């Protein structure tokens, strides 16, 4: 009896030692993976960035968090290759990719991407080889290569965008600062019964010299075709700040004034309905015509100043127009007569309001298509 009990204790001791050795081995494997994983992930990320056609990118460091199911990328730089030289395209102080645990509790294995202090540099040019708009890259595939799960949430913190008219123009011809935004439920995890547009987007920032801007709306990327309803507004833009654009596209120069831009648009089954409302106050325009210049250009300068003068609302000192647009996504048409009507209404009947007016809705657009 005593021998059997001694053998039992001896066997139990061996089992405990075996379990302890197994746990220790597992711990060593996990520690080894924790030590090696950042280096492996760093090599993988750099490989993905180097495979981008027309771009060259790199990162500074990787921080892995096994508990969160996440990894953090620091110091991401992406440059556009152009004629043997490199032009800055995207810089991100840190990028966090993680599993979205709240969605996991609802049975969906999806992830979220958070960019901290991203800076995007865009260039618009008449020559295709000088443009830098990022439209030639497949960024969805790039994100999928960096993170194996479908993204359900995307957030930007303290971002910036610079837009130059030409590559040799100083970046900052038009700039957005303090850009913060969130796109949530992109994969419809939280979709409620009967909800047409389950995904939400909200963003805010400062345009130019501090004009506040806001974007708000909803969308559905999983529909057969894109379904979307968005509002955008930006108030008190200092008009002289936009002179590089006004000179380039309208051949006018503005001494003073402010501009508000208000937009609503809806998209359903390839059809678009919306408007852009422009509202300028205290505007002072002078001609750019120069001696020996194009007479037609000088004539346009004079006409632009005359048009603003006769169509401004005198009581509020504002020039405003509402430009409706409608049609297929590939063939939008602006309403010329309604635009002229809005100019006259603002000048002689009732001043246009400086906000979105709620006249566009996805339900109305869908009803027209039925």
Helix/strand/coil for 316: coil
The whole-angstrom separation of Cα 213 and Cα 115 is 20
Mean pLDDT, the chain, rounded, equals: 79
What is residue 84's three-state secondary structure?
coil
| Residues above pLDDT 90, as percent of the chain | 28
Q: What is the pLDDT of residue 364?
A: 86
- pLDDT exceeds 60 at position 293: no
- Can you list the positions of beta strands (E) in the chain? 55-58, 61-65, 70-82, 85-99, 110-123, 150-164, 174-184, 199-207, 211-220, 227-238, 253-268, 271-286, 318-328, 331-334
Range with top average pLDDT, 55-59, 83-87, 183-187, 284-288: 183-187
Question: Measured between alpha carbons, how far is 315 from 306 in angstroms, rounded to an integer?
Answer: 18
Of 143, 146, 151, 159, nearest to 71 (Cα)?
Answer: 146
Average pLDDT over residues 319-324: 92
Q: At 29, is the pLDDT very low, low, confident or very high (cuts 50, 70, 90)?
A: very low
| Distance in angstroms (rounded) separating the CA atoms of residues 347 and 313 | 4
9's CB contacts (< 8 A; 6+ apart) are none
Mean pLDDT of 328-351: 90
| CA 365 to chain centroid | 25
Asked if residue 252 lies in contact with residue 301, where contact means CB atoms within 8 angstroms, the answer is yes
Question: What pLDDT shows up at residue 322?
Answer: 93
User: Where is average pLDDT lowest: 126-130, 157-161, 216-220?
Assistant: 126-130
> Which pLDDT does position 276 carry in this prediction?
95
* CA of residue 260 relative to chain centroid, distance: 20
Q: What is the DSSP letter of 130?
A: G
Give tens-digit pLDDT for 264-276. Answer: 999 998 899 999 9
What integer pLDDT is reported at residue 338 of this predicted model? 92
**pLDDT for 5:** 46
pLDDT at 291: 47
- Average the pLDDT over 205-220 and give the result: 93
At 188 the pLDDT is 77
- The domain locations on the chain are 42-180, 191-370
Summarize the confidence of residues 87-105 as an average pLDDT: 84
Query: Is 234's pLDDT higher than 90?
Result: yes
Residue 304 pLDDT greater than 70, yes or no: no
The pLDDT confidence band at residue 44, using thresholds 50, 70 and 90, is confident
**Residue 291 burial (10 A CB sphere; 0-12, 13-18, 19+):** exposed
Q: Which residue has the higher pLDDT, 11 or 57?
A: 57
For residue 192, what pLDDT band results from cuts at 50, 70 and 90? confident
Q: Is 164 left (phi over 0), alpha (psi -120 to 50) or beta?
A: beta
Q: Tell me the pairing of strands 331-334 and 85-99.
A: unpaired
Question: What pLDDT is attached to residue 17?
Answer: 59
**Average pLDDT rounded to a whole number, residues 256-261:** 91
Q: Which pLDDT belongs to residue 178? A: 96
Q: Return the pLDDT at 45.
A: 76
Share of the chain above pLDDT 70, in %: 73
Q: Pull the structure tokens for residue 119.
A: 């800076």
Q: Which range in 56-60, 242-246, 268-272 is most confidently predicted, on average pLDDT?
A: 268-272
DSSP for 194-250, written as a single string: T-S--EEEEEEEEETTTEEEEEEEEEETTSSS-EEEEEEEEEEEEGGGGHHHHHHHT
Residue pair 223/244 in contact (Cβ under 8 Å)? The answer is: no
Region 118-145: mean pLDDT is 73
Closest CA to 167 of 246, 87, 247, 242: 87
Alpha carbons 206 and 31: distance in angstroms, whole number: 45
Tens of pLDDT, residue by residue over 156-168, are: 999 999 887 665 5
DSSP 250-272: T--EEEEEEEEEEEEEEEETTEE
- With cut-offs at 50, 70 and 90, classify the pLDDT of residue 37: low
């Amino acid at each position: 009896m005593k021998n059997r009990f001694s053998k039992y204790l001896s066997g139990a001791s061996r089992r405990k030692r075996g379990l302890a050795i197994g746990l220790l081995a597992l711990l060593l494997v996990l520690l080894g993976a924790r030590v090696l994983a950042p280096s492996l992930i760093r090599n993988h990320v750099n490989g993905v960035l180097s495979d981008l056609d027309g771009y060259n990118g790199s990162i500074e460091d990787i921080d892995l968090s096994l508990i969160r199911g996440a990894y953090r990328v620091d110091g991401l730089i992406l440059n556009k290759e152009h004629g043997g030289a490199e032009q800055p395209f995207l810089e991100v102080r840190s990028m966090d990719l993680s599993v979205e645990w709240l969605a996991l509790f609802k049975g969906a294995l999806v992830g979220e991407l958070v960019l901290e202090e991203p800076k995007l540099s865009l260039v618009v040019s008449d020559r295709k080889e000088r443009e830098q708009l990022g439209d030639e890259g497949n960024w969805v595939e790039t994100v999928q290569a960096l993170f194996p799960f479908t993204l359900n949430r995307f957030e930007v913190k303290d971002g910036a965008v610079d837009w130059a008219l030409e590559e040799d123009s100083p970046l900052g011809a038009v700039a957005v600062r303090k850009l913060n935004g969130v796109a949530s439920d992109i994969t419809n995890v939280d979709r409620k019964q009967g909800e047409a547009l389950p995904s939400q987007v909200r963003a805010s920032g400062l345009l130019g010299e501090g004009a506040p801007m806001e974007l708000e709306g909803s969308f559905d990327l999983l529909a057969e075709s894109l379904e979307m309803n968005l509002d955008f507004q930006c108030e008190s833009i200092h008009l002289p700040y936009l002179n590089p654009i006004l000179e380039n596209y309208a051949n006018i120069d503005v001494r003073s004034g402010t501009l508000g831009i208000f937009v609503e648009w809806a998209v359903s089954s390839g059809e678009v309905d919306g408007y852009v409302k422009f509202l300028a106050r205290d505007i002072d325009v002078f001609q750019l015509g120069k001696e020996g210049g194009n007479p037609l250009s000088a004539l346009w300068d004079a006409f632009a100043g005359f048009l603003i003068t006769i169509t401004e609302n005198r009581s509020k000192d504002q020039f405003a127009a509402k430009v409706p647009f409608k049609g297929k996504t590939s063939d939008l048409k602006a309403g010329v007569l309604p635009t002229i009507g809005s100019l006259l209404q603002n000048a002689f009947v009732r001043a246009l309001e400086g906000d979105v007016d709620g006249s566009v809705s996805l339900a109305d657009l869908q009803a027209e298509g039925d």
